[in-house]
Amino acid sequence: MENNNKLIAEFMGAATRPKHAYAFLRYDSDWNWLMDVVKEIDSLFGEDDVVNHMINKVHNAFFQFNIDTVYKAVVQFIKEYNQHN
């Protein structure tokens, strides 16, 4: 999870941190942290059809009301988004 939290932090524009600092990020366990990422993802809507489709996957995960499911969808989105761009 530490690597995924690092991936999210980088997506959110966090400056490079010492490797051990990523262990303290709470994207995987705190709705408030995770929702900030979902809002950032939503801000990309309209970029293109591929991105819109990827965003819809995050939205679908959100409607399951399970933080683990949303977290995994966010991580998958970021990986796909990074490959797409």
Amino acid 14: pLDDT: 78
Task: Look at the block and give the residue holding tokens 């949303």.
Answer: 70
Amino acid 25: pLDDT: 86
Per-residue pLDDT of the chain (85 residues; tens, 9 = 90+): 788 998 999 999 876 666 666 667 899 999 999 999 999 999 999 989 999 999 999 999 999 999 999 999 999 999 999 999 8
Amino acid 13: pLDDT: 87
Alpha-carbon torsion 24, 60, 83, 40, what sign? negative
Amino acid 15: pLDDT: 66
Please give the Cα distance from 17 to 47 (Å, whole number): 29
Amino acid 2: pLDDT: 80
Count of alpha carbons within 13 angstroms of residue 5, beta-carbon side: 17
Q: Looking at this protein, which amino acid is placed at residue 81?
A: Y
User: Is the pTM here over 0.95, yes or no?
Assistant: no
